[in-house]
Structure 1
Amino acid sequence: MPGPDLTAALAGFTLGLSLILAIGAQNAFVLRQGLVRRHVLAVVLTCAASDAALIAAGVSGMGALGARLPWFAPAMRLGGAAFLLWYGARALHTAWRGGMTMEAGGAAQSLRAALLTCLALTWLNPHVYLDTVVLLGAVAAGYDNRLAFGIGAVTASFVFFFALGYGARALAPLFAAPAAWRALDAVVGVTMWAIAASLLLH
């Protein structure tokens, strides 16, 4: 039977993984970068490190900060929705123009642009705060070893993003045709707009 530390770590890993498995703005972006094989290491490290910082904040008890700043949640919703509407429109525009080839997709974005987009998709998404800071923080409070729980959740983020970023290469043959990119961009655009709508209608 696992000890209390391992039990907490496994619980953190399981919950952390379940919270990031669903397709979302951040995951769709990581998938795209993995497919074009452009700045993959920098992008997955940025996502995982951002998650780690947010999880650490939640586990350390900072989840109550939002209650003390009533303007924080509405500001994040509006800012996140605006960015997602713009990003979704760009993806739908690309799909409308017929998609792109693997080579064009890989050369389209600089490292700086990729990292800024990644940071915006992460830190401007209120759902990220709800999942990592509030929810994980609340569950972690029920364990004697919150550090082990947090380590488990952080490990889940690193495992997931590295698997998504580098595992996307297995799908590369499927995306050799522009039509596949067109479909992907359409799905990404609709996903971004759906998330933005959920933020504005919250």
Structure 2
Amino acid sequence: MAGLGTLPTIASRHVGVLPPLHRGKLPPKPMPAPAPDPRPRIAPLQIAARFSPPSIALLYMDMNTHKRKIRQISSSELADIFTRDGIANLLQKRYRKYFDRVEIGQINSIIEQLIEKSATKSDPDGLTLDEDLNKVAPEILIAAKRSMNESYEQNRKQPGDADFQYDVQKTFQPTGTSNWDDDDGQETEIEDEVNFSPAEVSDDDGLFNALT
């Protein structure tokens, strides 16, 4: 054992001593993300179909202000969708804030009512005789114009046709009375957008009637 030699002596002041730590400021801890508010911002009360102009209306309670409001989705906003299921899915995706808590069966029922009403009211061109063209869905208006152009070309008489006549004059009688013909000076008040009459709205619970 003596041949191994002896270990060098280490000064006691170096034994067990670690280098000093840098006492700089530690980075701030990240703040936790706020938990989502479990309370819904709106509470649906009633969904209904408005037939003139065609639209889907949702009566809901704004939970921030505790006031009842109506959100209307017109047919022009759904013009690129042509199936009932497609419209229902679009409502729950594009307008999720309003329709994510509405049952899909209720939405489908309202869409069916709009489709049936449109089918019974419309003529073969897709328009009614007294339809306000400013409120018609774009795809219906385009289809109606195309149909009218085709009908015009089929019935147009040109020189050389056997039954062609020059300078044909015809008097047309009015199909109904017009407010312009009245001399009583009364003005018709424009109905507010959020008011629905029973004839316009499918409202089983009568909630919309309370607003009129």
Asked whether the two chains share a fold, i.e. TM above 0.5, the reply is no
**Structure that is richer in strand per residue:** 2
Q: Which has the higher contact order (CA 8 A, sep 6+)?
A: 1
TM-score using structure 2 length: 0.26
Question: Which protein has the larger Cα radius of gyration, Structure 1 or Structure 2?
Answer: 2
